[in-house]
Amino acid sequence: MDLHGKVVVVTGGAQGIGLAIAERCAADGARVAVWDLRAEAVDAAVARLRAEAQADVLGCVVDVSSMASVQAALDATLAHFGRLDGLVNNAGIVADAQLRKMSEAQWDAVIDVNLKGVFNCGRAAVEALIGSGGAIVNISSIVGLSGNFGQTNYAAAKAGVLGMTKTWARELGRKGVRCNAVCPGFVGTAIVKDIPQHLIDEMVKAVPQGRMGRPEEVASCVAFLLSADASYVNGATLEVSGGLTL
Protein backbone atom coordinates (compact mmCIF):
# COMPACT_ATOMS: atom_id res chain seq x y z
CA MET A 1 0.00 0.00 0.00
CA ASP A 2 1.13 3.54 -0.62
CA LEU A 3 1.11 5.52 2.63
CA HIS A 4 3.78 8.04 1.63
CA GLY A 5 3.14 11.49 3.07
CA LYS A 6 0.74 10.17 5.69
CA VAL A 7 1.13 10.41 9.46
CA VAL A 8 -0.41 7.48 11.34
CA VAL A 9 -1.00 7.02 15.08
CA VAL A 10 -1.11 3.42 16.31
CA THR A 11 -2.35 2.94 19.87
CA GLY A 12 -0.95 -0.09 21.66
CA GLY A 13 1.75 0.08 19.01
CA ALA A 14 4.63 -1.21 21.13
CA GLN A 15 3.95 -4.94 20.67
CA GLY A 16 1.81 -7.58 19.03
CA ILE A 17 -0.68 -6.55 16.37
CA GLY A 18 -0.07 -2.84 17.03
CA LEU A 19 3.67 -3.15 16.44
CA ALA A 20 3.02 -5.10 13.23
CA ILE A 21 0.66 -2.32 12.10
CA ALA A 22 3.26 0.34 12.90
CA GLU A 23 5.92 -1.66 11.03
CA ARG A 24 3.69 -2.15 8.00
CA CYS A 25 2.70 1.54 7.89
CA ALA A 26 6.35 2.60 8.12
CA ALA A 27 7.35 0.11 5.43
CA ASP A 28 4.60 1.52 3.22
CA GLY A 29 6.02 5.03 3.61
CA ALA A 30 4.08 6.52 6.53
CA ARG A 31 5.50 8.50 9.39
CA VAL A 32 4.30 6.76 12.55
CA ALA A 33 3.49 7.71 16.12
CA VAL A 34 3.54 4.74 18.50
CA TRP A 35 1.25 5.38 21.46
CA ASP A 36 1.53 2.87 24.29
CA LEU A 37 1.29 2.61 28.04
CA ARG A 38 4.73 1.14 28.69
CA ALA A 39 7.69 3.52 28.29
CA GLU A 40 10.37 0.85 27.81
CA ALA A 41 8.32 -0.97 25.20
CA VAL A 42 7.67 2.30 23.37
CA ASP A 43 11.40 3.05 23.27
CA ALA A 44 12.17 -0.45 21.96
CA ALA A 45 9.46 -0.24 19.29
CA VAL A 46 10.63 3.19 18.13
CA ALA A 47 14.24 1.99 17.89
CA ARG A 48 13.14 -1.08 15.93
CA LEU A 49 10.99 0.94 13.51
CA ARG A 50 13.74 3.49 12.91
CA ALA A 51 16.23 0.72 12.19
CA GLU A 52 13.90 -1.28 9.93
CA ALA A 53 12.34 1.43 7.82
CA GLN A 54 14.52 4.48 8.45
CA ALA A 55 11.14 6.04 9.16
CA ASP A 56 10.34 9.22 11.05
CA VAL A 57 8.86 7.65 14.18
CA LEU A 58 7.63 9.24 17.39
CA GLY A 59 6.97 7.38 20.62
CA CYS A 60 4.40 8.63 23.14
CA VAL A 61 3.73 7.10 26.54
CA VAL A 62 -0.03 7.34 26.84
CA ASP A 63 -2.89 5.73 28.70
CA VAL A 64 -5.76 5.68 26.21
CA SER A 65 -8.29 5.41 29.04
CA SER A 66 -7.38 8.95 30.15
CA MET A 67 -8.56 11.83 27.97
CA ALA A 68 -5.88 14.12 29.43
CA SER A 69 -3.16 11.62 28.54
CA VAL A 70 -4.55 11.14 25.03
CA GLN A 71 -4.80 14.90 24.46
CA ALA A 72 -1.16 15.34 25.56
CA ALA A 73 -0.05 12.61 23.14
CA LEU A 74 -2.04 14.17 20.31
CA ASP A 75 -0.49 17.58 21.02
CA ALA A 76 2.99 16.03 20.95
CA THR A 77 2.21 14.18 17.72
CA LEU A 78 0.89 17.27 15.95
CA ALA A 79 3.83 19.33 17.24
CA HIS A 80 6.25 16.75 15.81
CA PHE A 81 4.62 15.92 12.47
CA GLY A 82 2.33 18.91 11.86
CA ARG A 83 -0.56 16.75 10.64
CA LEU A 84 -2.48 13.52 11.23
CA ASP A 85 -3.85 11.26 8.48
CA GLY A 86 -4.56 7.96 10.18
CA LEU A 87 -5.68 6.79 13.61
CA VAL A 88 -5.51 3.08 14.41
CA ASN A 89 -7.31 2.31 17.68
CA ASN A 90 -5.59 -0.94 18.56
CA ALA A 91 -4.75 -0.79 22.31
CA GLY A 92 -6.64 -3.46 24.19
CA ILE A 93 -6.60 -5.66 27.28
CA VAL A 94 -8.44 -8.68 28.62
CA ALA A 95 -9.63 -9.46 32.16
CA ASP A 96 -11.62 -12.65 31.71
CA ALA A 97 -14.16 -14.24 34.03
CA GLN A 98 -17.55 -15.81 33.66
CA LEU A 99 -20.45 -13.49 34.47
CA ARG A 100 -21.03 -15.20 37.81
CA LYS A 101 -17.50 -14.31 38.91
CA MET A 102 -16.68 -11.10 37.02
CA SER A 103 -15.85 -8.22 39.36
CA GLU A 104 -16.78 -4.60 38.80
CA ALA A 105 -13.05 -3.86 38.58
CA GLN A 106 -12.64 -6.36 35.72
CA TRP A 107 -15.61 -4.83 33.89
CA ASP A 108 -14.36 -1.26 34.39
CA ALA A 109 -10.76 -2.01 33.39
CA VAL A 110 -11.69 -3.52 30.04
CA ILE A 111 -14.40 -0.99 29.23
CA ASP A 112 -12.05 1.90 30.14
CA VAL A 113 -9.29 0.78 27.75
CA ASN A 114 -11.11 -1.08 24.97
CA LEU A 115 -14.20 1.13 24.64
CA LYS A 116 -13.59 4.50 26.32
CA GLY A 117 -10.03 4.47 24.99
CA VAL A 118 -11.33 4.32 21.44
CA PHE A 119 -13.73 7.17 22.15
CA ASN A 120 -10.96 9.26 23.75
CA CYS A 121 -8.60 8.88 20.80
CA GLY A 122 -11.30 9.47 18.19
CA ARG A 123 -12.63 12.49 20.05
CA ALA A 124 -9.17 14.04 20.45
CA ALA A 125 -8.06 13.35 16.86
CA VAL A 126 -11.23 14.08 14.91
CA GLU A 127 -10.52 17.70 14.00
CA ALA A 128 -7.00 16.91 12.81
CA LEU A 129 -8.34 14.02 10.73
CA ILE A 130 -11.03 16.22 9.17
CA GLY A 131 -8.27 18.69 8.35
CA SER A 132 -6.30 16.09 6.42
CA GLY A 133 -9.14 13.97 5.00
CA GLY A 134 -7.83 11.08 7.05
CA ALA A 135 -9.01 7.62 8.05
CA ILE A 136 -9.73 5.75 11.27
CA VAL A 137 -9.33 2.00 11.72
CA ASN A 138 -10.72 0.50 14.92
CA ILE A 139 -9.48 -2.92 15.97
CA SER A 140 -12.49 -4.82 17.27
CA SER A 141 -12.65 -8.63 17.42
CA ILE A 142 -14.76 -11.51 16.20
CA VAL A 143 -15.78 -11.68 19.88
CA GLY A 144 -17.62 -8.40 19.30
CA LEU A 145 -19.69 -10.19 16.65
CA SER A 146 -20.37 -13.50 18.34
CA GLY A 147 -19.58 -13.10 22.07
CA ASN A 148 -17.24 -15.41 23.92
CA PHE A 149 -17.30 -17.55 27.03
CA GLY A 150 -15.77 -15.63 29.94
CA GLN A 151 -15.58 -12.32 28.10
CA THR A 152 -18.67 -10.27 29.03
CA ASN A 153 -16.53 -7.13 29.39
CA TYR A 154 -14.40 -7.70 26.28
CA ALA A 155 -17.33 -8.71 24.04
CA ALA A 156 -19.35 -5.68 25.16
CA ALA A 157 -16.42 -3.35 24.49
CA LYS A 158 -15.64 -4.84 21.09
CA ALA A 159 -19.32 -4.77 20.02
CA GLY A 160 -19.41 -1.15 21.20
CA VAL A 161 -16.39 -0.40 19.02
CA LEU A 162 -18.34 -1.66 16.00
CA GLY A 163 -21.21 0.67 16.90
CA MET A 164 -18.81 3.60 17.25
CA THR A 165 -17.18 2.73 13.94
CA LYS A 166 -20.49 2.81 12.06
CA THR A 167 -21.55 6.02 13.82
CA TRP A 168 -18.29 7.76 12.94
CA ALA A 169 -18.56 6.50 9.35
CA ARG A 170 -21.97 8.18 9.12
CA GLU A 171 -20.94 11.38 10.91
CA LEU A 172 -17.59 11.91 9.24
CA GLY A 173 -18.09 10.55 5.72
CA ARG A 174 -19.13 13.91 4.30
CA LYS A 175 -16.20 15.52 6.12
CA GLY A 176 -13.81 13.37 4.11
CA VAL A 177 -12.93 10.97 6.93
CA ARG A 178 -13.52 7.22 6.53
CA CYS A 179 -13.90 4.90 9.51
CA ASN A 180 -13.72 1.12 9.37
CA ALA A 181 -13.29 -1.78 11.77
CA VAL A 182 -11.11 -4.87 11.62
CA CYS A 183 -12.16 -7.98 13.53
CA PRO A 184 -9.22 -10.32 14.05
CA GLY A 185 -9.81 -13.93 15.01
CA PHE A 186 -7.11 -15.78 16.96
CA VAL A 187 -3.75 -14.11 16.48
CA GLY A 188 -0.61 -15.37 18.20
CA THR A 189 0.34 -12.50 20.55
CA ALA A 190 0.78 -11.88 24.27
CA ILE A 191 -2.95 -11.34 24.73
CA VAL A 192 -3.60 -15.06 24.15
CA LYS A 193 -0.58 -16.29 26.16
CA ASP A 194 -2.63 -17.25 29.21
CA ILE A 195 -5.00 -19.50 27.25
CA PRO A 196 -4.12 -23.17 27.96
CA GLN A 197 -2.65 -25.04 24.96
CA HIS A 198 -5.51 -27.56 24.80
CA LEU A 199 -7.99 -24.67 24.39
CA ILE A 200 -5.80 -23.08 21.70
CA ASP A 201 -5.80 -26.45 19.89
CA GLU A 202 -9.61 -26.58 20.11
CA MET A 203 -9.89 -23.01 18.82
CA VAL A 204 -7.58 -23.68 15.91
CA LYS A 205 -9.64 -26.73 14.95
CA ALA A 206 -12.62 -24.40 14.43
CA VAL A 207 -10.70 -22.18 11.97
CA PRO A 208 -11.35 -23.20 8.34
CA GLN A 209 -7.76 -22.23 7.47
CA GLY A 210 -6.57 -24.53 10.27
CA ARG A 211 -4.17 -22.15 12.01
CA MET A 212 -3.89 -18.97 14.07
CA GLY A 213 -3.33 -15.68 12.31
CA ARG A 214 -0.14 -13.68 12.32
CA PRO A 215 -0.01 -10.01 13.39
CA GLU A 216 1.27 -9.12 9.90
CA GLU A 217 -1.91 -10.53 8.39
CA VAL A 218 -3.98 -8.05 10.38
CA ALA A 219 -1.54 -5.23 9.65
CA SER A 220 -1.81 -5.58 5.88
CA CYS A 221 -5.60 -5.15 6.08
CA VAL A 222 -5.20 -2.07 8.26
CA ALA A 223 -2.74 -0.57 5.77
CA PHE A 224 -5.28 -1.16 3.00
CA LEU A 225 -8.04 0.58 4.95
CA LEU A 226 -5.76 3.56 5.68
CA SER A 227 -4.72 3.88 2.05
CA ALA A 228 -6.32 5.57 -0.96
CA ASP A 229 -6.99 2.06 -2.34
CA ALA A 230 -9.86 1.91 0.17
CA SER A 231 -11.19 5.35 -0.82
CA TYR A 232 -14.83 4.16 -1.01
CA VAL A 233 -14.71 1.77 1.95
CA ASN A 234 -16.51 3.36 4.90
CA GLY A 235 -18.28 1.80 7.89
CA ALA A 236 -17.10 -1.67 6.94
CA THR A 237 -16.29 -4.52 9.30
CA LEU A 238 -13.44 -6.59 7.88
CA GLU A 239 -13.01 -10.01 9.48
CA VAL A 240 -9.45 -11.31 9.50
CA SER A 241 -10.06 -14.66 11.10
CA GLY A 242 -9.26 -17.43 8.63
CA GLY A 243 -13.03 -17.88 8.21
CA LEU A 244 -13.70 -18.60 11.90
CA THR A 245 -17.22 -17.17 11.97
CA LEU A 246 -18.45 -19.06 8.90
Binding interface with ligand NAI (CB under 6 A):
11-12, 14-18, 36-38, 41, 62-65, 90-93, 113, 117, 139, 141, 184, 186-187, 189-192
Measure the CA–CA gap between 210 and 153, rounded to whole angstroms: 28
Least distance (Å) between residue 141 CB and ligand NAI: 4
Burial track 6-16 (b if 16+ CB lie within 10 A, e otherwise): bbbbbbbbbbb
Residue number with CB closer to ligand NAI (2 or 216):
216
Q: Of the listed 81, 154, 168, 186, which one is catalytic? A: 154
Measure the CA–CA gap between 234 and 102, rounded to whole angstroms: 35
Residue number with CB closer to ligand NAI (15 or 153):
15
Residue number with CB closer to ligand NAI (139 or 232):
139
Closest residue by Cα to residue 74 from 36, 111, 33, 108 = 33
Residue number with CB closer to ligand NAI (186 or 224):
186
Measure the CA–CA gap between 55 and 134, rounded to whole angstroms: 20
Closest residue by Cα to residue 185 from 233, 223, 226, 217 = 217
Least distance (Å) between residue 161 CB and ligand NAI: 8
Q: Reply yes or no on whether 232 is catalytic.
A: no
Residue number with CB closer to ligand NAI (209 or 231):
209
Least distance (Å) between residue 32 CB and ligand NAI: 14
Helical ranges in 147-205 per DSSP H: 152-172, 197-205
Closest residue by Cα to residue 178 from 166, 186, 193, 163 = 166
Q: Checking phi first, is residue 13 left (phi over 0); if not, alpha (psi -120 to 50) or beta?
A: alpha
Least distance (Å) between residue 26 CB and ligand NAI: 17
Q: Do 59 and 45 form a contact (C-beta atoms < 8 A)? A: yes
Least distance (Å) between residue 67 CB and ligand NAI: 12
- Catalytic residue ranges: 154
